[in-house]
Amino acid sequence: MSEALLAQAVAALKTVGLNYAFVLDLGERSAFLRGLGVTLQLCLLTIPASLAAGVLIASALTSGRAWLVQPARAFVEVTRNTPTLVQLYCAFLVLNMLITQHVKLPGGNPLTPFVWVVIVVSLHKGVFHAEALRAGIEAVPRVTLEAARSLGFSQRQLLWRVELPLALRFALPALVNNLVDLVKMTAVASAIAVGDVTYESIMIWTQRDNVLELLLLILVFFGLLTWLVSLVGRWLEERLRMSGYGQ
């Protein structure tokens, strides 16, 4: 039933010059749907992983201990100033090869291309989160910190209970901005043959030459995802609003 409906839709689109015949090919349709799923998985894994990395790096940056601050700063600068694609190639093609050659694990190298994409994208965006959070942490008023210290808060309690909750509110618009960018960035996965929606589309259009049709679908899909992210971001901003602080 739905197959007939699909065929009708494809025929209707054909009349306006759009060739979506690939959805009638079972193999290509399932490849494309799998690609949508993989992109969703990538987003769902990299969003929390990048935020965790951001908090870690931000706390290292603002710790005031030189042995923590300096490596963290170096990592931020290197990561922020090189393209994600280059990092992904370095990680997957160079690091991964060295690991495969030198670590002889019984089950082979456990780091699949998918895992590398999650690691590289999370760390790359984590650095941007860290800088946004650092701005937030440094914007916490000195008197607030003094008040907390006088109540006997330890350094860690200070970070978790005072600085980060306030920094999060301050940095939220920048963080949401980063997350929107992160969703789009998952398309680099296609460069190392991780089957995300971009990769599956490339593999289809190099056989069928229906570039425009597939790019339209990709555009709509990413547009939908980024719109959802910014919607959640706006809701959080609304919810976390504190009168008299930040916005």
Partner 1 sequence: MAIALAAVLGLGAAAAHADATLDRIKQRGKVAIGVVVGGGPFGSIDPATQQLVGWNPDLARDLAKQLGAEAELVQVQPSNRVQFLQSGKVDLLIASMEYNADRGEILGHAPTPFYRVGGTAAVLKTSGIAKWEDLRGKVVCASQGSSYVKPLQEQYGAQVRGFKTSAESLLALRGGNCVAAVHDATLIQPLLRNNAEWAAYAAPIRDEILPAPSVVWTRKGEADTIAAVDKVVQQWHRSGWLIATEKRNGIEPPQPLLTELQARFKAP
Q: What is the nearest approach in angstroms of partner 1 to the Cβ of residue 184?
A: 18
Rule CB under 8 A: say whether 24 interacts with partner 1.
no
Residues binding partner 1: what is the number (CB under 8 A)? 19
Q: Which of 62, 81, 175, 164 is nearest to 126 (CA)?
A: 175
Residues facing residue 245 across a β-bridge: 242
DSSP code for 192: G
Q: Closest CB to partner 1 among 62 and 96? A: 96
Rule CB under 8 A: say whether 211 interacts with partner 1.
no
Q: Which of 233, 183, 181 is nearest to 41 (CA)?
A: 183
DSSP code for 158: I
One residue of 199, 218, 222, 225 binding partner 1 per CB under 8 A: 199
Rule CB under 8 A: say whether 8 interacts with partner 1.
no
Rule CB under 8 A: say whether 108 interacts with partner 1.
yes
Q: Closest CB to partner 1 among 121 and 167? A: 121
One residue of 33, 44, 97, 215 binding partner 1 per CB under 8 A: 97
One residue of 8, 82, 154, 207 binding partner 1 per CB under 8 A: 207
Q: Closest CB to partner 1 among 74 and 97? A: 97
Rule CB under 8 A: say whether 187 interacts with partner 1.
no
Please enumerate in sequence order all residues whose Cβ is within 8 A of that of 183, keeping only pairs 6 or more positions apart, or say none: 43, 222, 225, 226, 229
Rounded to whole angstroms, what are the CA distances from 76 to 31, 61, 122, 123, 177? 37, 9, 13, 9, 18
Q: Is the dihedral of CA 36, 39, 44, 47 positive or negative?
A: negative
* Residues in touch with partner 1 (CB under 8 A): 89, 92-94, 96-97, 100, 108-109, 112-113, 191-193, 199, 202-203, 206-207
